[in-house]
Structure 1
Amino acid sequence: MDYYILAINPGSTSTKAAVYKNEEVLFVEAINHSNEELEKCKSLKDQFEMRKQLVLQALAKHKFNLEKLSAVVGRGGQLPPVKAGGYYVNEAMKKRIIQGPIVNHASNLGALLAAALAQPKGIPAYIYDAVSSDELKPVAKVTGIPEIVRHSFCHVLNSKATARKVAQSQGKGYEAMNFIVAHLGGGISISAHEKGKIVDVITDDAGPFSPERSGSVPILYIVDMCYSGEYSKKDLLKKLRGLGGLKAHLGTHDCRQIEAMIEQGNEQAKLLYEAQAYQVAKGIGELAPTIDGKIDNIILTGGIAYSKMLTDMIAKRVEFIAPVIVVPGENELESLALGALRILRGEEECNEYVDRHETKEEFFV
């Protein structure tokens, strides 16, 4: 039986959509949103109708009949911690996204867009491998501040999908192997995968700095900045995400431009690029003990894994731990579509979202 699946991935400045026939991609559209378009919307919720219409226009452009669709799958957002895998987009999930509390992130629109396009057709709407999917071991959640509990926030969707691909290429199942996966993008996260579960992570604010994020910074310095009177909360959040990392130092987050600087003899750019690789390698080493050093492969993925200069610098520092495999790109639309396809084929069960996180105490269970 042929299944037609529409996958939708809303990002901060773009909406990407693709239609798959089983494993085969029929077309992909990357719709960029200008600052002017986004500034007209006061909140992410206000962006919903704009993005929905643009997706419909993309389908019309390719003369695709919506009646052929078997399911629609959207990127999973910043819900309270959920299991990895697929979830039906139900009323409880939509209520949480619309009414909150929920971290403000463009990925939250994935579920709403999927439901808006699927439910009038009487077909299922899913999310898959939400950003907040949490499979951490209890020991990995403990911090030195009792009021703060660690949760799993990383590039779950691409990290798991890439690990599945690597396992398949070796004739094994994802659930039979152990990996450390470093997702190298605008933000960098690193995850330890043990027999099909992400058991520990280094989040994009707790590890290496990235093209536009500060990564981990000694906390006492941050406390001093918070109380210096020089910065608002908004200012500091921008320093952490958006205006941090390579952008803060070099004025650009484009690694192609930075590599060009290095080739032209810019010593500062060379040092910073190497420092980014150095910190990624440290993060990989930090996670090695979480699965007792029993690692089949280290995987480097994400958009800036296309940089051979960067991946070579990382690999030379960590290849003593395990063989390094580079799988560049984000592959998020494919990851969404293949997850939905496994559900439609009955190869995976789909979860029903139940909102049990009304209080702070329950939120951290």
Structure 2
Amino acid sequence: VHGGEAFQAPALIDDRVVERIRAQVPLAPLHNPANLVGIEVATAGMPDVPHVAVFDTAFHQSIPPHAHRYAVPHELYASHHVRRYGFHGTSHGFVGKQAARYLGRPLDTLNLIVLHLGNGASAAAIENGRSVDTSMGMTPLEGLVMGTRCGDLDPAIVFFLARETGLDNDALESMLNRDSGLKGICGVNDMREVLRRAEQGDERAALAIEMYAYRIKKYIGAYCAALGRVDAIVFTAGIGENSPDIRSRACSGLSALGISIDPARNAASASGAREIQPADGPVKVLVIPTDEELEIAEQTVDCIRSSVVPPR
């Protein structure tokens, strides 16, 4: 999952790569140790085939310092690597390429805002095919409202809760990661159920939907400002691909930015990449299914083809 600043692309696994992945464990204590176990089992079971590590953070390593650094003492970055890393890079990268293919334009000429909306959710600003900003931060907790994660939060709230509730760091971290977001607001984290409850008059569910869509809209606006020119907004992942309601709410009121949705196109059931903006809309609004497994497979093949595979 986490390659830190050490990996900007997939890597052919050897002892040195394993140790560099191990060095990133403090940045992803729940994920990287499990990934290392998988590497150890796979390489032991299939020692005569090449193994490749693909990193969810690598796509975002192109984000410039003014966007990836936090305004905290420099020593925290120099010694502890405190910065924005971003996640869902495999999905954002795949969807960006699919958008270029659909639009019939080279990826390196396109400015895109990609919205990966699932139980975990993130936005990415892509300029000329490269990530220049993303909503998730040093961890996946920052950014959009998610199924069980809070997203953007005043950091002082954590200190306030520690004082007022007596909860320790582990309990607070668990609460913000596992019991917040949609679940924290209305009790459930499945957007389909949240929408159903809202239709039945559940005020907390309705509030959760409004908060979810409003946060997406704020990031769209921010990334329009950061990019200057936007060729397409792209919705992907479970909610992004399957919820016309959320897509409509996220894009409402953005006509001044050239962003709008055609209700009939948005509501139509269709598979594959499709447009949902009005025919004369200046900014394309696309729905494109993601396929992270395919992207990982393609990156693996590319890595092996471009590497000198040592004999085992």
TM band (smaller chain): 0.7 to 0.9
Root-mean-square deviation over aligned CA pairs: 2.6
Equivalent residues of 1:131, 1:155 under 8 A apart: yes
Q: C-alpha distance in 2, partners of 1:103/1:113?
A: 15
Aligned residue runs from structure 1 range 283-302, under 5 A: 283-291=219-227, 293-302=228-237
Could you tell me whether the CA contact under 8 Å between 1:154 and 1:190 is conserved in 2?
Answer: no
**One of 280, 287, 295 as aligned partner of 1:326:** 287
Give me the whole-angstrom Cα distance separating, in 1, the residues matched to 2:110 and 2:6: 23
Query: Residue 97 of structure 1: CA displacement?
Result: 4.1
The answer to whether the 8 A contact 2:9-2:58 is kept is: no
Partner Cα distance (1:232, 1:108) in 2:
23
Q: Which moved more, 1:101-110 or 1:170-179?
A: 101-110
For 2:251 and 2:198, how far apart are their aligned partners in 1?
19
Please say if residues 262 and 270 of structure 1, whose CA atoms lie closer than 8 Å, have aligned partners that are also in contact: yes
Q: Which amino acid aligns with 2:11?
A: Y
> Which secondary structure state, in structure 1, belongs to the residue aligned with residue 133 of structure 2?
strand
Deviating above 6 A after TM superposition, structure 1's stretches of 4 or more consecutive aligned residues are none
When structure 1 is superposed on structure 2, of 113-122 and 230-239 the one drifting more is 113-122
Aligned partner of 1:95 in structure 2 is 19
Aligned length: 271
Q: 1:124 aligns with which of 50, 55, 61?
A: 50
Taking a change above 3 Å as real, the CA distance of residues 301 and 190 of structure 1, as seen in their structure-2 partners, is same
- Deviation of the 1:214 alpha carbon: 0.6
Could you tell me which residue of structure 2 aligns to residue 218 of structure 1? 154
**Shift in Å at residue 350 of structure 1?**
5.5
Name the aligned partner's letter for residue 182 of structure 2.
L
Helix, strand or coil: the match of 2:132? strand
The answer for the alignment partner of 2:126 in structure 1 is 193
Displacement after TM superposition at 1:82 (Å): 3.8
TM-score between the two structures when normalised by the length of structure 2: 0.77
Tell me: CA distance 1:332–1:107, structure 2 relative to 1, closer, same or farther (3 Å).
Answer: farther
- Unaligned runs of at least 5 residues, structure 1: 1-76, 353-365
Residues 220-256 of structure 1: per-residue CA shift (max 9 Å, x gap)? 3222113335211111112221111110122211111
Is the Cα–Cα contact under 8 Å of residues 22 and 32 in structure 2 kept in the other structure?
Answer: no
2:202 to 249, 263, 266: 266
d(CA) in 1 for partners of 2:72, 2:21: 29
Identity in percent: 23
- How far off is 1:112 after superposition? 5.0
Unpaired segments ≥5 residues, structure 2: 260-282
- Identify the match of residue 95 of structure 2 among 140, 159, 162: 162
How far apart are residue 290 of structure 1 and its match? 2.2
